Copies of this chain bind each other. A is one copy, B any other.
Amino acid sequence: MATGSVYSLPVTINYEDTDAAGVVYYANYLAYMERARNACLRAAGLPLTVVRDEHNAVFVVTEVRLRYRKPAMLDDVISVTLEVDELRGASVTFIHHVLRGEELLVDGQIRLGILSGDTCVPCRIPDVVRQVLDRHRIQ
């Protein structure tokens, strides 16, 4: 796996992220993974509002699979990584890893479809978006 293909976003854990078990609430990792996807596109000059307004395309999550191995905790600074596994005409599957240093906390696969922004019908991923996703494909 070429390291160059991995996008990584640091996330600092605050009280808002944790629950009374003293760990990050299990649903929140999905939000961190969304942050990583958006930050990756934004870094390539394609924030979601540009994808929507200039390329008439919106992402919708269709499937999620997460495995929780170890919990993140208050004040941890975790890394949320992203790679692209399957890149099809109208859908893409991301692989995410949540790490604390070298330690794997959570990993997941998230599949998204692309809809036309005005008709809400599945459509082809715009080429400019596809080029960015392609850079992060698992080698």
In the complex, A49 has a CB within 8 A of chain B: yes
Contact status of A34 and B47, CB under 8 A, knowing A58-B21, A60-B68: no
Q: How many residues of A contact B (CB 8 A)?
A: 39
In the complex, A54 has a CB within 8 A of chain B: no
- Shortest C-beta distance, A15 to chain B (Å), equals 4
Contacts of A25 in B (CB 8 A): 15-16, 31
Contacts of A21 in B (CB 8 A): 15, 58, 60
- 4 additional A-B residue pairs with CB within 8 Å, beyond A15-B34, A20-B20: A21-B58, A26-B61, A62-B67, A64-B64
Contact status of A64 and B63, CB under 8 A, knowing A27-B27, A31-B16: no
- Shortest C-beta distance, A42 to chain B (Å), equals 7
Q: How many copies does the complex hold?
A: 4
- A selection of 12 A-B contacts at a CB cut-off of 8 Å is A12-B39, A16-B27, A16-B35, A27-B31, A30-B30, A48-B75, A49-B74, A50-B75, A60-B68, A62-B68, A64-B66, A64-B68
In the complex, A139 has a CB within 8 A of chain B: no
Which of A12, A35, A39, A64 has the most chain B CB within a 10 Å cutoff? A64
